[in-house]
Amino acid sequence: MTIPQERVRIFDRQGYPLAEFQTLVERSWVIGDEGRAQFSYPSRKTDVVNEKVLQFGNWLLVENDSLPPWVGVLDVPREWEARDVTVSAYTPERVFSWRIGPPEEVIDTSAGDIFETLIQRTNEAETTILRVGSIYKDGDLEITLNPHPYSDDLLDIYDRSGQEYGWRPVVKNGKLLVYADWVEKLGAETQSILQSGEGGNLEASNKMLVEDAPIVNSFFAFGDGETWKSRPQETVTDASSIQKYGLREYAEEMQGVKNADTLRENAQERLDSTKEPDRLFGVTALNLDDTFSSIDLGNTMKLRFEKIGFSTGVEYETDIRIVGMDYNPLEANKIEMVVEEL
């Protein structure tokens, strides 16, 4: 197996390069949530370990010739030992957490438009290297901005819309920019296969399959209003889930939603995602042949391994989608992944 090669660089808050050096950066990618990175470096090497380079708010870019790039901002904690310093970084959701919304503002448009607004407001408060990228603008969504972190609003529109976002770093003329894309779904359909057993490209795991997350098959949603009578309300149910698991009710307030049709659509999307338990597979892929070239957030693959769960037959096969990844360069030809069954 060829060991993937990496390039590690740090840029200032305006995107200008500060340092390029060799180190091992352990990092994670997650759909709809903050990914993290961490590296250690000898404190005696002051060309890197100085306040200008390792300043909180600077940007870390890690490129790999076989895996997707990772980009994020340096932030606390920073841990000093006798001879080394350990530095932490986080994907751009962290920047959204540094901004708060207005006292009250209702926005009724698409999730993509709201995402674009959050980026613009983030830069209005103080210019960053975040830029509006490719924005998918189908669907209707209503949200009320309040003086809480924009990262909360980002999570809200991600959860309610069923759509997704990604960060796309671009270095042009030496300067880093991070384009924020809002898409219907991340990733691409691949023909790749993850196969356990002899000659396969999967490492054995103690928890190959976890069935988790609360099951809800009767969902009551309610929106904004001064009284219960004035609030839009909607209940949606799933008969097959109720027959299989029994009635499981849940209620949720959807703040900022005043339109009944929007509320009904949001409630149905939530029900569709909760009527069955999540089936998450924890797998470690090996860099055999072209396996790593097929790995990215949202990509779909085929998963094969020996019988698991209530499946019949000797071999279990299913289609899966990558929803999270963790890479440690110490084990350069392995990548841990969380995948969900389609």
- Looking at the structure, do residues 269 and 289 belong to the same domain, yes or no? no
Whichever domain contains 129, its CATH number is 3.55.50
* 196 and 326 share one domain: yes
**64 and 14 in a common domain:** yes
| pLDDT computed for residue 285 by the predictor | 93
What DSSP letter does each residue of 12-74 carry, written as one string? -TTS-EEEEE----EEEEETTS--EEEEEEETT-TTTSSTTTS-TT-EEEEEESSS--EEEEE
pLDDT tier for residue 247 given thresholds of 50, 70 and 90: very high
Residue 7 has a pLDDT of: 98
**Same domain, yes or no: 84 and 172:** no
Angstrom distance (rounded) from CA 300 to CA 186: 10
- Report percent pLDDT > 90 for the chain: 71
Number of domains in the chain: 4
**1 domain-assigned:** no
Q: Which of 256, 273, 290 is the last residue of a domain?
A: 273
Judged against a pLDDT cut of 60, whether residue 313 lies above it is answered with no
Burial class of residue 43 (count of CB atoms within 10 Å of its CB; 0-12, 13-18, 19+): middle
What burial letters (b/e) apply to 269-294, b meaning 16+ CB within 10 Å? bbbeebbbeebbbebbbbbeeebbeb
pLDDT at 94 over 90: yes
48 in the same domain as 35: yes
- pTM to 2 decimal places: 0.85
Domain check: are 11 and 70 in the same one? yes
37 has pLDDT over 80: yes
Question: Do both 83 and 170 map to the same domain?
Answer: no
Mean pLDDT of all residues in 262-282: 85
Domain match, 205 and 330 both: yes
Residue 323 domain-assigned?
A: yes
Output 200 or 85, whichever has higher pLDDT.
85
Q: State the pLDDT at residue 151.
A: 98
Could you tell me if 337 and 258 lie in one domain? no
325 with 207, same domain: the answer is yes
pLDDT tops 70 at residue 306:
no
Find the mean pLDDT for residues 271-300.
Answer: 90
pLDDT computed for residue 209 by the predictor: 73
Are 289 and 306 in the same domain? Answer: yes
Q: What is the pLDDT of residues 155-204, one digit of tens each?
A: 999 988 889 999 999 999 999 999 999 999 999 999 899 988 777 898 86
Residue 206 resides in a domain: yes
Residue type, 249: E
**Residue 201: which domain range?**
189-212+278-341
Q: pLDDT tens digits, residue range 60-81?
A: 999 999 999 999 999 999 999 9
